[in-house]
Structure 1
Amino acid sequence: MIIKNNLKKSRLTLALLAGITLLAACGEQPTPAVKIAKMNSIQVVKDITYLASDNLKGRASFSPEIDQAADYINQRFTEIGLIPLDTNKDFKQTFKVTSIMPSSLTVTLNGNAIEVAQLGMASTIATLAWNSAEDVNTHIIGETDNMRAALGKMNNEGGEHFVIIHSAHAKTFAGYQGYFKRGLTKLSLKHQGAIVMVLADDSEITSLVVNAATSITEKTLTNIVAILPGKDKNLDKAKEVVLYSSHYDHLGLSADGKEVFNGADDDASGTSAVINLAQHYASQGTNKRTLMFSAFTAEEIGGFGSKYFSQQLNPDDVVAMINIEMIGKPSKFGAGTMWMTGMERSNLGELLNASLQEKNTEVYKDPYPEQGLFYRSDNATLARLGVPAHSFSSTQLDKDQHYHQSSDDINSLDLDSMYEVIESLSVATQGLVDGSITPTRIDVSTVRASGKIY
């Protein structure tokens, strides 16, 4: 991977990185950390340096390297003294998903065979054989229509759809085409459906023949989930759960295998925060509510880690979800500050800001509402179940040149700012931990459902 030499390393960590990077490159596991009452900045750096190292090759879902990352997080939770879920022997929550790859697609529209470059398909069905427009729901997206909204509606409805998309949408079409070509991953095939797209300017369908096939296989994914049991004498209070979460997967290697998409900010930063918040509260040993710490897998390919996780517990028991997503760089509000998604959906932000007054900082409202970030991380899965589930971030998405690029490595981060965000989170959420604050629930009727096809 090409290192950008002009990127500035953090003042706090410059002297540490050489030795820590050597540890990461060798693939060594961490030695047991000494438990201390204050957040350990050195340990934070060790964790993110390992998780974002070239040695882990970008932590792609289904790769051997994401299993190495899982082993590291599992060991860290063991060192901290947390306990697994239920009767698990360790912190790994392993489950199966279905991987669906398109293998063939031919379309004849109005008597004309359509070239492959003008086709796209998202399908959870093994074979499609449509011999007329009567066999399928048909749609025509015109030059001035909203293509994204139209496809989103089909996705939410499920079923089988054939859609003609006007060439004015060629750029957007290409984006969906590339996404669908990489295949789909589904937690289950309960909802089966298909969308076949054609880029063409036809305004009607007089004849239609579609033949398609997909390859369907099962694969294994793993969340890492740990618990710090609540210590309140009131057992009902002790069973209430405060969830700290992140995702530890990323994009892996470039197509030619020459570049590593390290995912230092996205989301080794959040995962390092979760690990060190766990260590912080375990060291305190005073949490009245149960604290749960989860590193989710497969966020980058559809959030399947959080989807599976949400089915393994009663969402009514979860008081709040603090999902930490990309905190490695200063926000637009200044170094060490953060913002949260969906602040208007519960009063969690208001409660956290009351706790931060003495620290003379605050959690800001999401400054990028047009990006739809509330739905672009693992918090959305729990929010759909009524949990006050929000993501906390500091990234400047309108300016970040490293997002989903190979340059998202340890050199691109401001680790001083990141550490300050983690400390602020520990202060802000103390009331959740000690049971003194309880946020309002999210109205599930206002949360957009997840798609049934892609």
Structure 2
Amino acid sequence: MIKKINSNNKINRNFKLTALLTALTITSSFPSIAEIISKEQVISDITYLAGDDLKGRASFSTEIDQAANFLAQRFADIGLQPLKATTTTKNPALFLQKFTVNQIKSKTLSVTLNGQEINPDHLAIATTIEKLNWQQGNAKTHIVGANDDMRKTLTQLNQSGGQHLVIINSKHEKAFNAYQGYFNRGLTKLSLQHRGAIVMVLSDESELETYTVKASAEITEQSLTNVVAVLPGTERADEIVLYSSHYDHLGMTEDGKKIYNGADDDASGTTAILNLAQYYADKGSNKRTLMFSAFTAEEIGGFGSKYFSQQLDPDDVVAMINIEMIGKPSKFGAGTVWMTGMERSNLGALLNEKLVALDTQIYQDPYPEQGLFYRSDNATLARLGVPAHSFSSTQLDKDQHYHQTSDDISSLDLTSMHKVIESLATATQSLVDGTVTPTRIDKEQVRAQGKIY
């Protein structure tokens, strides 16, 4: 009996020793935070991007161009290549991916229903057509009753395109006013390929015998800029792992007195891609090609990612790691991150395999009711079949700084943010090495983009 007990103890000791050595060996393959990413550089990057001098990095502003030049210089200094180049370049201008969009501003709108002119306060329009002159039969007509789903109706019309007159019961006045405010600010379209219009009328009319609609809009072109850099793969250069963020934000308040610094949204994510680029460039062992893209115009419709997606073959993109608001601890703890659309591919499971040794994981989006999968640049690439997901730590249901002027450096937890960047570097190593390939997203299961707004 004594020998048996001693034998078991010896076996248990040997087992524990072996397990400990194995754990130490595994853990030793993951450098510390300081070895992966310089915290000083992280702080330097986000301090500049979220600083008052950039005045909130609004699309079409002088200051967003300053931000783009800063990002381009950082990529050049790191030693990356521009998207279209074949050799390393020190010319920052080559990292700037310039394109134009169409800004559409409604100028005039008048409507009569059954011979009665409608109060302009009860009208709204989204259009990609410069002039409308509708009479009976020129447009498809729709009645949204008191118990109908107004948002669903408008979404379906937007996705189908064409010309539509929509009569909306006054029970939906609050929602109507929200759409009206959105449309009145003007629309931006990357392309005018789909010409169409939706005219909304807040009215309790339930039978429509006659109508007239007259409207005009002004369409102008404006320039925008993505910043894109490439670290070519050593063995599988035709396979791309894309790290992305958006670097635009909301600019300033209407009175020009306060700044929407956008420290978390999304200077934090942009800082992450800069420092991940630095890390992988320093290692120089990536078998797949790594691409780092700072998108513009996410806040006004995701036009940067839309244009970018047309400049390469999406089938070449193995995965998209879109980093969005990582400046504060998540509900799962400091330094942890969650991802949108985890159920749409096995990317999350593959990334978590690398995080076991760090005793952490990437969590599933805890806010499914917010529809976050569609609210960032990943959605554009997901519609093309790319395993494209956003990675975030924000507690969106509690964040008092989201889209507020208080979203500045002082609201962030830079230690937690630094740890998130380290975790993403560790988690995505298998993608970089080419040892794993995530499943593609089913394009048919991703909601289509609107054609009109």
TM-score computed with the length of structure 2 as normaliser: 0.90
Specify the structure having the higher radius of gyration (Cα): 2
**Which residue in 1 is equivalent to 2:68?**
70
**Which residue in 1 is equivalent to 2:295?**
296
Map of 1:234-253 to 2, 5 A cutoff?
237-253=236-252
**Which residue in 2 is equivalent to 1:92?**
96
Q: Is the 8 A contact 1:269 1:326 kept in 2?
A: yes
Q: Structure 2 unaligned segments of length 5 or more: list them.
A: 1-33, 86-90
- What SS does the corresponding residue of 1:94 show, helix, strand or coil? strand
**Which residue in 1 is equivalent to 2:383?**
384
- What SS does the corresponding residue of 1:361 show, helix, strand or coil? coil
- What SS does the corresponding residue of 1:239 show, helix, strand or coil? strand
- What SS does the corresponding residue of 1:135 show, helix, strand or coil? coil
**Which residue in 2 is equivalent to 1:361?**
360
CA–CA separation in structure 2 for the residues paired with 1:257 and 1:109: 41
Q: Is the 8 A contact 2:321 2:391 kept in 1?
A: yes
Find runs of 4+ consecutive structure 1 residues off by over 3 angstroms. none
Deviation for aligned residue 1:417: 0.9
Deviations 1:91-125 (A, max 9, x none): 00001111111111111122222122111110000
CA–CA separation in structure 2 for the residues paired with 1:448 and 1:215: 29
**Which residue in 2 is equivalent to 1:4?**
none
CA–CA separation in structure 2 for the residues paired with 1:119 and 1:266: 33
Q: Is the 8 A contact 1:37 1:284 kept in 2?
A: no
Deviation for aligned residue 1:375: 0.6
Matched, 1:39 2:62: no
TM-align CA RMSD: 1.1
Deviations 1:136-189 (A, max 9, x none): 011111111111111000000000011011111111111111111111111111
Q: Is the 8 A contact 1:93 1:223 kept in 2?
A: yes
Deviation for aligned residue 1:238: 2.4
Matched, 1:49 2:47: yes
Matched, 1:191 2:194: yes
Deviations 1:210-262 (A, max 9, x none): 11000011111100000001012xxxx22210000000001111111111111
- What SS does the corresponding residue of 2:36 show, helix, strand or coil? coil
Letter of the aligned partner of 2:313 in structure 1?
A: N
Deviation for aligned residue 1:90: 1.6
Q: Structure 1 unaligned segments of length 5 or more: list them.
A: 1-35
Match of 1:220 among 223, 227, 230: 223
**Which residue in 1 is equivalent to 2:419?**
420
Map of 1:173-212 to 2, 5 A cutoff?
173-212=176-215
Letter of the aligned partner of 2:75 in structure 1?
A: F
Deviations 1:341-386 (A, max 9, x none): 0000000000000110001110000111111111110001101111
- What SS does the corresponding residue of 1:226 show, helix, strand or coil? strand
Deviation for aligned residue 1:402: 1.0
Q: Is the 8 A contact 2:133 2:215 kept in 1?
A: yes
CA–CA separation in structure 2 for the residues paired with 1:320 and 1:274: 15
| Count of residues paired in the alignment | 414
CA–CA separation in structure 1 for the residues paired with 2:150 and 2:405: 30
Q: Is the 8 A contact 2:96 2:227 kept in 1?
A: yes
- What SS does the corresponding residue of 1:241 show, helix, strand or coil? strand
Letter of the aligned partner of 2:123 in structure 1?
A: L
Q: Is the 8 A contact 1:249 1:267 kept in 2?
A: yes
Letter of the aligned partner of 2:221 in structure 1?
A: E
Matched, 1:433 2:399: no
CA–CA separation in structure 1 for the residues paired with 2:320 and 2:447: 18
**Which residue in 2 is equivalent to 1:8?**
none
Deviation for aligned residue 1:37: 5.1
Deviations 1:273-296 (A, max 9, x none): 010100011111111100000000
**Which residue in 2 is equivalent to 1:370?**
369
Letter of the aligned partner of 1:190 in structure 2?
A: Q
TM-score computed with the length of structure 1 as normaliser: 0.90
**Which residue in 1 is equivalent to 2:311?**
312
**Which residue in 2 is equivalent to 1:12?**
none
**Which residue in 2 is equivalent to 1:120?**
124
Letter of the aligned partner of 1:409 in structure 2?
A: D
**Which residue in 2 is equivalent to 1:138?**
141
Letter of the aligned partner of 1:131 in structure 2?
A: Q
Deviation for aligned residue 1:38: 2.3
- What SS does the corresponding residue of 2:94 show, helix, strand or coil? coil
Q: Is the 8 A contact 2:36 2:422 kept in 1?
A: no
- What SS does the corresponding residue of 1:281 show, helix, strand or coil? helix
CA–CA separation in structure 2 for the residues paired with 1:277 and 1:123: 41
